[in-house]
Structure 1
Amino acid sequence: MIKGGRVVVRDPETGQTTIQLVKIDWPIARIPTLAPHFGIGMMGSNNRETQAVPIIGLDNSDLYPNAAPEQPLGGTGSFASTQPPKLVKLIAGQLGINDYSTILNWELELYDSQPATVGGMDKEFIFAGRIDDKLCSWAAFMALLHAKQEEDEGVIKLVALFDDEEIGSLLRQGARGNFLPITLERAVEALNDANEGSTQIFGPGLMGQTFAKSFLVSSDVTHAAHPNFPQTNLAGHSPRLNVGVALCVDASAHMTTDTVSMAILDRVAALSGCVNQRHMIRNDSRSGGTVGPMLSSAMGVKAADVGIPQLSMHSIRATTGSLDPGLGLKFYKGFLDNWEKVDKEWHM
């Protein structure tokens, strides 16, 4: 696996602090699994703190009594002095840093070094790392770039991408924060200038009306029908690869979709030439949950959960259909282009 991330560095001359991105161009880490002969499985039962530690190098100095141990770098009290010296040298070398004490902190992660590839006898699959949830993020962002821009449109088209969803979203950049409502508030305030003949005064009432007239398509990858574990999905309501996005419904409210939002998005699909699938979560199971309920409940906005199907969720390499990124883009573009028209049909 490759290590990459961001490094906080201070300029020793000016004192200015900057963030620099770093990426090691070769695999420097591996989490060695334990052979099944020992009777200790690596399929979810291993301890993440003590039994899933990546190895990034060897230290056999204990075999040589006269070997001098590596000394900490950066000086006493520095961040670098708390890190493995070889790793400090490697990161500093990648960034052209000579004074290790100027490294104030870093945030590094491991990721699969193998590039994505197509697979299957007809090349109908994509095998790749980090499909969750760069798949929906890419499709939604590309849809925004290609959405229509008509002068008579009266809506704001927006795609919001959040971090930290897998750990609860309760950080500044997470969906449970107020970044999205504040951004929308600033946009509405900028567009509402009372000095230019506006009949509405900006304030909580106007924002409430804005939220009430909006629609949120909460998007995260969802579980495709699994040929080896058919019991995990509800028969007849399980999405297939290379067909279309899935509207996700959970009776336990881990999804925000309801009958009205499903009808709205089915109408969008009809206008866009898309096929909407259904993913009904079994009552004796639970979904992983999405940011949809937290955002829709915080803003009071109509919403639905929509997912592009995939297999091997949360695996280091997952699987989706080779057509699915494009099908997702087609649906999201259809929503951005047709939401205003569909909304008016509900108020005629």
Structure 2
Amino acid sequence: MARAKAYASDFLAFINASPSPYHHVANVKNLLLEAGFLELKERDSWAGKIEKGKKYFLTRNGSSIIAFGVGKDWAPGNGISIVGAHTDSPCLRVKPVSKKSGDGYVQIGVELYGGGLWHTWFDRDLSIAGRVFINDADGNLVPKLVRINKPILKIPTLAIHLNRTANTNFEFNKETQLFPIAGLVKEALNKKEDGGAEGEKENSGEVDSDKFEPFSPISARHQPRLISAIAETIGVAESSIRDFELTLYDTQPSSFGGLSDEFIFSQRLDNQLMSYCAIRGLIDSLSATDALDNDPTIRLVSLFDHEEIGSESAQGARSNLLPATVKRLSGLYGDFKDTDGTRAGSTVYEETAIKSFLISADMAHALHPNYSSVYETSHRPQMNKGPVIKINANQRYSTNSPGILLIEQVAKIEKIPLQLFVVRNDSSCGSTIGPALASLLGVRTLDLGNAQLSMHSLRETSGSVDVEHASLLFKSFFQNYAKVEGKIFVD
């Protein structure tokens, strides 16, 4: 239990420092650098830069990241053990033009991202985090992470006295009734830095004819006090801020919960928990100095943005991010060659794909004691009982029997319990990055994840012991894939 709590404590520190996908990737990058991984750039040639027995990573858009270690016995066309997960979660994002006010309140316009349980965002202490682009001293546009580490926003519910049906029929308009309040207009009018009343020239978007800009000033598109708060937080002049991508987050920290700390109470468990466990498993599998000796494979983790909205982006799972990386590593472009050089540019990519295996790691549904009737009677996952293998006959999940047997073998080595899950026939089924990557790569794939309650809520619940379970399962997968894969025969 002490070791399990240590795993969970490390995860809590990680997720509390990761309020956006950009922070998530930056923190993963820091973990990798501390573990001796070397950074690659996609835009560079990798010829001569990748050595057997070493560890590397690359990022795309600051919101997706791939990390891998190359076995010393790697040869072109060999297999890759892959764990894929995603960095994003359902949230509210600040609109491109967010400046709003109504009935004396300063408000922020927000846009829905993903399929969230939006009623859970009411009456929470909210703030903002994300990525800001600024002009640096050399005139370049560079990104900086921002996190305002105090509550500045609130989406208030309507009092029960004014809505007597709220407890039986809580409905709201997502466009007009989900705008957070950020202050009072009369306070803004009294602040010199806000330039007086709304509508004055400096906030109206008017510019001198000899200083044409395609867009109106950022202070005309967003609340000036919001711009001031961002500038103060990242330590730059307001005038240097050019644009940003900001999400709202709950300022209440993630923590242990339950009478015996058996739970984790948190936001963004779907899917930062599986992302963290995947990276932790990879790092731990490579921690020994001889970890890659006698290993004929590559061990790889790929964390994607935009899963919650279908993965259709340049940094999503349906992009070329992972296929392009696998091609470069497989030897297709000559990064690796046999001693006689005959196989570069031939079929090594196809050979690698068919010899590889992908674990699509995304959170699973735990049995809810108050709604047990919605679960299939023989498939009721519980928290702290190990990762849940997810199965769907219609390929919403990509699991099949060879994959189950492979994961069973690597779990047995570390004594990790596993569970099985299918949805009821009269229930809809979610999906993951698994089917998309399986069809893109032609790689054998299995879907699994830790069990949780309140998926897509602002505050979710999972089992604290399962952090260790998943981390050790992924570690065992990476360490034992070459040995186990060769014993499961399927054409």
TM-score (norm 2): 0.66
Q: 1:3 is matched by which residue type in structure 2?
A: I
Deviation at 1:320, TM superposition (A): 0.7
What displacement does 1:199 show?
Answer: 4.4
Q: What letter is aligned with 1:10? A: N
Name stretches of at least 5 consecutive residues in structure 2 with no aligned partner. 1-125, 208-215
More displaced stretch, 46-55 vs 333-342: 46-55
What is the deviation of 1:288? 1.9
Counting only pairs closer than 5 Å after superposition, residues 1-348 of structure 1 correspond to structure 2 as: 1-11=126-136, 14-36=138-160, 38=163, 39=165, 45-60=171-186, 68-70=196-198, 71=200, 72=202, 76=207, 77-100=216-239, 102-148=240-286, 149-189=291-331, 191-193=335-337, 196-203=339-346, 205-347=347-489
Q: Hey, what's the Cα distance between the residues in 1 that align with 2:450 and 2:335?
A: 34
AA partner of residue 132 (structure 1): D
Distance 1:43 1:290 in 2: 31
Separation in structure 1 between the aligned mates of residue 159 and residue 279 of structure 2, nearest angstrom: 42
TM-superposition CA deviations, 1:282-308 (whole Å, max 9, x none): 121122210100000111110000111
Deviations 1:210-256 (A, max 9, x none): 11000000010010011111122212212111110010011222111
* Residue identity in the other structure for 2:337: D
* Contact 1:251 1:281 (C-alpha < 8 Å) held by counterparts: no
1:2-26 deviation per Cα after TM superposition (whole angstroms, max 9, x unaligned): 2111111123x53211111111121
Q: For 1:26-70, what per-residue CA distance to the aligned partner results, in whole angstroms no more than 9, with x for missing partners?
A: 111111123455135798842222211111111148999xx9504
- Tell me: CA distance 1:92–1:291, structure 2 relative to 1, closer, same or farther (3 Å): same
Question: Match for 2:408: what amino acid?
Answer: D
Count of residue pairs brought into register by the alignment: 342
Deviations 1:132-186 (A, max 9, x none): 1111011110000011523111110000001111111111111111100001111
Amino acid at match of 1:15: G
Identity of aligned residues (%): 36
Letter in 1 for 2:220: S
Q: Distance in 2 between matches of 1:287 and 1:201?
A: 42
Distance 1:75 1:43, change over 3 A: farther
Q: TM-score, normalised by structure 1?
A: 0.91
RMSD of equivalent CA atoms: 2.4
Alpha-carbon spacing, 1:105–1:42, altered in 2? closer, same or farther (3 Å): farther
Cα deviation for residue 122 of structure 1 reads 1.7
CA distance in 1 between counterparts of 2:254 and 2:463 reads 12
